[in-house]
Amino acid sequence: MPHALDTIMKYTSMSAGAYVLLWAWFQTFNHNPSSGFFRIWWRLCLYYFAYSIPIWLLLLALAVGYYDFSMILALFIAGLLLIYGYFCLYIPNQLQLRQHTINLNLTQDKTTAGFKLGVISDIKMGLFSGKPRHIRQLVQQINQLNVDAFCILGDWLYYPSADLVGQLLSLKSVNKPVYVIQGSHDLQYIPPNAGQSLLEDSLDKAFTALGLIQVTAPMTISNHHLLIANATDVNDVTNIQPMPESSEAKAQVILLSSVAQYQQIQRSYGSHLAKTDNSALTTLFIAPASLTLSQSDLDNVTIITGSQITGSQAGTMHYFHSVGVGICGLPLRWRTKPTIDILNLI
């Protein structure tokens, strides 16, 4: 191998490695972790390493061509790098749409129109996802959807940088009503859980500034006879109250943020979460990706997994689980692509 090429390869590999380590170190400071600095740093190293994969593939090809390097070993390493890049960079950016039709008895008397609700959860704004470019991509998709309203469940945050409003600014341009709730894990970034807050604004203030509708009390969409409610304030699951009686509502959508919420509701009120004219409302629970229920919790609930649910009766409970759009833990997404779900409530 010519000496010049040998020198170029050596300094290129050293530069790429140093860039990944130092940039990850800088970004770790930028995200202000209150603990676990080195845990966050090495995860960011893995994340930014994926962006340097083309460089390592080129160096690997040169090593095979100019050194006595095993072709089989080179192909094996190249395969691992490509697989890692696929799950770290490609899959997380492949936003997909899913359609579901759910019978909540809204249109049974043929006097009420159905209601289309878009749903996403777990933006996980911070280390790997929820970047301004990701939010812009979401907003572009949302604005193209033919839905009556949109719902964004927590968790919103995963070691975010300080300026929440700036990072979420694109949500201000959504062209339809957006209902939001915070997730249980979002609380760790808010005092007193986070000690001295490093955020310029709380999520509450960010939602207000961006014109998002935070669901803190039941809200009736009267022209569709639909009640949308947060199960409870995520700070205190002991204060769960039954949904108020409503002469207009025919069905209710309850947004969840913790397992304890759901279990408390089930224990306290069973299927009679709200009533109108002495009949229990048909109920749809919507849960974020970060919420996992046991099978026993779902024994009396219709789990929505297919594209259509029919034959619902008054008082029936349905459960829908979003797969989320963000990433936490390791910078990989391998089960499903980030997904916007469209629930056609009839």
Range scoring the smallest mean pLDDT among 12-26, 74-88, 221-235: 221-235
Q: What would the two tokens of residue 106 be?
A: 């809204």
Domain 96-345 CATH class label:
alpha beta
**Does pLDDT of 90 surpass 60?**
yes
- Spans of all domains in the chain: 3-92, 96-345
Full-model pTM: 0.85
Q: What would the two tokens of residue 61 be?
A: 């090809």
What pLDDT, on a 0 to 100 scale, did the predictor assign at position 272?
A: 47
Amino acid, res. 227: L
What pLDDT, on a 0 to 100 scale, did the predictor assign at position 237?
A: 40
pLDDT in tens, 289-314: 888 887 777 776 777 765 555 545 55
pLDDT in tens, 246-303: 446 778 888 988 887 777 776 665 544 444 444 567 888 899 988 888 777 777 677 7
